[in-house]
Amino acid sequence: MRGAASKPAEFAIRAPFPCGVTFRVNCGYGRRAHRRVRYRHSTNDYYAIDLTRVDGDGGFKEPIVAVAPGVVRKAGWARRGWAPYGKLVYIEHDFRDREGQRYQSLYAHLRTVRVRPGQRVAAGTVIGTMGGSSRGRYRRFGPHLHFAMYRGAHRYMGGGQALVPEPLGHYENLRRGKVMEACGRPDRRLVLLETDEGLDLAVGGLDPVDLPRPRRLTPPATLRRLVLPSPTVDPLED
């Protein structure tokens, strides 16, 4: 989209979850709630994504981590025009591009915040926990992480350009329904099993004839649907 920025290849970012956590995109780019690419007086969130964990209650109260090294610029309840973000952490990263621009990341709707402004964090540092906070309320939404990145934004939020956060770890094409594993490889075949007890996860090898084995599927659950993604098709994407 015009005005958006692409992430430089040399600026590596990881997933905002601890290694081994399986998560998916609940809301992809350009949704009605995620607007603006380049605007001075707003966060430019056209390329923001909403993420949830596959296991448990969407990851409620589970750790969220920094995607790259940097310094925390804001942490805590968002105020005034930023209030819809609820509890948030905003990080200015160490990386500078050839034009001297810095990059920022936003983690919103948190349950708890575990860092403070001015604190230096490494990639993988726990900065808070998953929640659904907004406008001063802890559970205004279901558990999810609103994650966005920017190029050249204000030090204390707002402005700059929307940044396409790809690759996220090794993953690209972050469309709604895409399932990923933090610190995992995109060539690992992540499969969602829909059972009469909800969604379950299985992980298989690279051989397409190697049917993945469930991690946690136990009797008397009945398999209703096996979503088996190919290299060009994401699970749960109709």
DSSP codes joined into one string, 212-236: PEESS--TT--EEEEE---TT--TT
Written as tens digits, the pLDDT of the chain (238 aa) is 556 789 999 999 999 999 999 999 998 887 655 666 555 556 788 889 999 999 878 899 999 999 999 999 999 999 888 888 999 999 999 999 999 999 999 999 999 999 999 999 999 999 999 999 998 888 888 999 999 999 999 988 888 888 999 999 999 999 889 999 999 876 555 555 555 555 555 444 333 333 344 444 444 444 444 443 333 333 333 2
What letter represents residue 200's amino acid? D
* Terminal C-alpha separation, the chain: 24
pLDDT score, position 56? 75
Cα torsion 110, 81, 43, 101: sign? negative
Query: Hey, is 83 helix, strand or coil?
Result: helix
pLDDT score, position 129? 97
Question: How far is the C-alpha of 27 from the C-alpha of 195, rounded, in Å?
Answer: 23
Question: How far is the C-alpha of 44 from the C-alpha of 69, rounded, in Å?
Answer: 22
Task: Tell me whether residue 76 is exposed, middle or buried, using C-beta atoms within 10 angstroms of its C-beta: 0 to 12, 13 to 18, 19 or more.
Answer: middle
CB 67 within 8 A of CB 116: no
pLDDT score, position 71? 98
The distance of Cα 39 from the centroid of its chain, to the nearest Å, equals 22
Cβ-Cβ contacts under 8 Å for 8 (sequence gap 6 or more): 95, 97
> Which single residue is written with the structure tokens 């952490």?
89
- CA nearest neighbour of 26 among 131, 133, 142, 111: 142
**pTM of this structure:** 0.77
Query: Hey, is 81 helix, strand or coil?
Result: helix
Q: Domain-by-domain residue ranges, the chain?
A: 5-164, 187-227
> Which single residue is written with the structure tokens 């379950």?
200
Architecture of domain 5-164: Distorted Sandwich (2.70)
